[in-house]
Amino acid sequence: MSARTPASEAWRRLKKDRLALVCLGIFVMFAVVAVAAQVVELVQGTPGLYDVTLAEQGIPVPEAAVAPSTVHWEAWWGTTGAGKSVLLRVFHGTKVAFVVGTCGAGLSVVIGMTLGVLAGYFGGWVDEAVQYLYQTVASIPYLLLLLALAFVIRQGPVAAAWYETALSDYVSLGLFNIIVVIGLTSWVTLCRLVRAEVMKVRELEYVQAARALGLGSGRIMSRHVLPNVFHLVIINFSLRFVTAIKSEVILTFLGVGVDKEPSWGQMIADAKNELMRGIWWPLLASGVALFLLTLAINYLGDALRDALDPKLRT
């Protein structure tokens, strides 16, 4: 009988939670949509179908703003006031959400994990410096810090320099702005958790033995410390993923986020004007997509925490 690995043990625990599996299925469905939207965009080029009206595509529609209809699959969620497919814009918004969630949460995790491990392992002035840094960041209201950084990056010299780089042809400044801002503002919680856990791990006997044998600090941290705190990283990544998506919606709604491509935040911002004309379905579509994805990730994150926490293993 083969020995159970931590990953297989976590999967065994996770499979017992049927609702977690449903949430995992929802997450995978959104991920497939995001990948498909990116592939279609690469094949078709710019502008994508999400930015072309149904009438321009030759699809017969009675008027520009069409309620959810079965006349064509692009009209299943209706069209915007300008006649563009709501379904395709939700699909593209899903791609934006996954880019923001993955990159923003990834940057946040890298910063928080690195600072937390260094502070917890070395202690002394390194720990004091990291504590001072995260206490300073934590003392500023999150939304205020988010908006301030977003505005500075969007209006400052970073914006001018960005348009001179090759990446500006592939990633909009608004999207890059959100990823950087989220990464720089949401690492504090993970840093605190990792620091506290590393301070416990570094005093364990096998870590002390490795130090006595002359192993370098880098090797000890990579081989003996990081594996013991990695479950915190996975759990925190799922939480930061949701935070990143919601932050994009807030920033874009307030006018300092994604601006050159449809995102869920942009759809909600546009829908507030269309509601006056009785066009409610773009708001409903983007709201339902946002609700389903964030709910699925939140519950899946809780289930992962229960499955990965070593204290819960028998």
What is the DSSP annotation of 216-230? Answer: -HHHHIIIIIHHHHH
Compute the residue count for the chain: 314
- pLDDT score at 58: 67
- pLDDT score at 107: 92
Residues 95, 7: Cα–Cα separation, whole Å: 28
Residues 87, 217: Cα–Cα separation, whole Å: 52
Q: Identify the residue with better confidence: 98 or 61.
A: 98
Q: Is the confidence at residue 130, as pLDDT, over 60?
A: yes
195-223 per-position pLDDT tens digit: 998 888 888 788 788 788 877 778 888 88
Q: Smallest Cα–Cα separation from 113: which of 190, 8, 52, 10?
A: 190
- pLDDT score at 98: 93
170-188 per-position pLDDT tens digit: 667 778 888 888 888 889 9
Q: What is the mean pLDDT of the chain?
A: 81
- pLDDT score at 6: 66
Confidence of residue 100 (pLDDT cuts 50, 70, 90): very high
Q: Identify the residue with better confidence: 83 or 160.
A: 83
- Is the peptide bond between 68 and the residue preceding it cis, with omega within 30 degrees of 0? no
- pLDDT score at 223: 82
246-304 per-position pLDDT tens digit: 988 888 888 887 877 888 888 888 888 888 888 888 888 889 999 999 999 988 888 88
Q: Is the confidence at residue 37, as pLDDT, over 90?
A: no
- pLDDT score at 1: 44
13-312 belongs to CATH 1.10.3720.10: yes
Q: Is the confidence at residue 159, as pLDDT, over 70?
A: no
Q: Is the dihedral of CA 182, 186, 191, 194 positive or negative?
A: negative
- pLDDT score at 26: 93
Q: Smallest Cα–Cα separation from 89: which of 58, 43, 42, 54?
A: 54
Residues 64, 66: Cα–Cα separation, whole Å: 6
> Which of the residue ranges 41-45, 128-132, 154-158, 250-254 has the most confident prediction, judged by mean pLDDT?
128-132
